[in-house]
Amino acid sequence: MSTHRRGLFAGSAAIASAMALPAAAQNAQTGNTPAAQAQAPGFYRFKVGNLTVTTVHDGFFRRPVEGFVRNAPASEVREVLADSFMPPDTLTVPFTVTFVETPRGLVVFDTGTGGQAAPTAGQLATNLRAAGLDLGQVRAVVISHFHGDHITGLTTAQNEPVFPQAEIFVPAAEWAWWTDEGNQTRSPEGQRGNFANTARRFGPYRDRIRQVQDGAEVLPGIRAISAPGHTPGHTCYHVSDGDAQMIFLADVTNRPELMMPRPDWQIVFDFDPEMAVQTRRRMLDRVATDRIRVTGYHFPFPANGYVTRQDQGFRFVPADWTTAL
């Protein structure tokens, strides 16, 4: 091939293209350009067999990297963040909620923040409407655990139900723990607010709460998988239709960029950190071995992909983005 090869920035004469647009045209153009600053609506769809899964972004909160991991120095945490080109000092923790359209109606796993947490969160209802769905349609709210960012969206700031048509499915072990005030002193100090929030958020749904045991079929094709440690009753859910399957991993990991490479890291939100690590390793091992698609509550949007082994840990592999459902 006869193409000339040149060194980068070899100093060949730059064309006078900087002046290519007449000033008048430039101004007109600047005036014509709308202030198009918004991101596309935060929802993404894929199929699991005949079921349509839609992940919907609720926003994010930010916290210092310092103090997030209990059993590793911040310097080491920063190195792992840098491997994923994430900033060193501030951790952005996204919230993305998994919806499943089933023959029995719309199902949602966890509720988002209900606009009552960080000012950078609370976009769930808007993004869901952009997807052609509405929180009011939801027939089943399936809860992984009772941390505030997962259940506060059950009700408004005035504690009115956000899901008027829904039954609420909760892990039995989670219900047992957070509804017994006697467990307050046996809970980490930072998690004791969950007792009051549990009473408050589930209160308006009291006659529509269904406790779910490990392994139980919540609805056809949706089955509970006990995954304790992050909280006493933390639960994942297996969704299947025919041979197709996925698992909602909930908070088995926080951001996968951090915790998949270092599954032994214990984070500040873990109720029983050692059990959380055991569960994390078991669940990641399972989905990596069986190559099962997963969604996660704190995964980067659109929060769906696969888990592969890497070095002594794992790595999250986002699923291919496609308009082809």
**Residues numbered 186-245 forming contacts with its own copies, rule: CB under 8 A:** 186, 210-220, 223, 225-226, 228, 232-233
CA 154 to CA 105: how far, in whole Å? Answer: 18
Of 11 and 158, which CB lies nearer to its own copies in the complex structure? Answer: 11
Of 38 and 157, which CB lies nearer to its own copies in the complex structure? Answer: 38
**2 CB contacts (<8 Å, ≥6 apart)?**
none
Q: What angle do CA 132, 304, 235 make, to 5 degrees?
A: 95
Residues between 28 and 47 with contacts to its own copies, criterion CB under 8 A: 29-30, 32-45
| Amino acid identity at 19 | M
Q: Tell me which residue of 87, 110, 95 sits closest to 60, measured CA to CA.
A: 95
Residues between 37 and 96 with contacts to its own copies, criterion CB under 8 A: 37-45, 52, 54, 57, 59-60, 83-86, 92, 94
Interface with its own copies by CB under 8 A: which range of 151-159, 244-252, 259-267, 295-303? 295-303
Among 63, 70, 104, 192, binds its own copies (CB under 8 A): 104
**Number of helices and strands (H, E) in the chain?**
8, 14
Interface with its own copies by CB under 8 A: which range of 26-34, 108-116, 150-158, 197-205? 26-34
Paired residues of 91 in beta bridges: 63
Contact 216, 263 (CB under 8 A): no
- How close are the terminal C-alpha atoms of the chain, in Å? 42
Kindly write out the interface string for residues 149-188 of this chain, putting x where it contacts its own copies by CB under 8 A and - elsewhere. Answer: ----------------x-x-x---x---x--------x--
Interface with its own copies by CB under 8 A: which range of 108-116, 133-141, 156-164, 246-254? 133-141
- Residue 312 found at the interface with its own copies (CB under 8 A): no
Interface with its own copies by CB under 8 A: which range of 130-138, 143-151, 154-162, 190-198? 130-138
Helix H or strand E segment including 171: strand 167-171
Question: In the bound complex, what is the minimum distance in angstroms from residue 158's beta carbon to its own copies?
Answer: 26
Among 64, 103, 164, 242, binds its own copies (CB under 8 A): 103
Q: Tell me which residue of 118, 71, 101, 133 sits closest to 222, measured CA to CA.
A: 101
Paired residues of 313 in beta bridges: 310
CA 68 to CA 75: how far, in whole Å? Answer: 12
Contact 267, 259 (CB under 8 A): yes
Question: In the bound complex, what is the minimum distance in angstroms from residue 289's beta carbon to its own copies?
Answer: 13
Of 115 and 300, which CB lies nearer to its own copies in the complex structure? Answer: 300
Of 110 and 257, which CB lies nearer to its own copies in the complex structure? Answer: 257
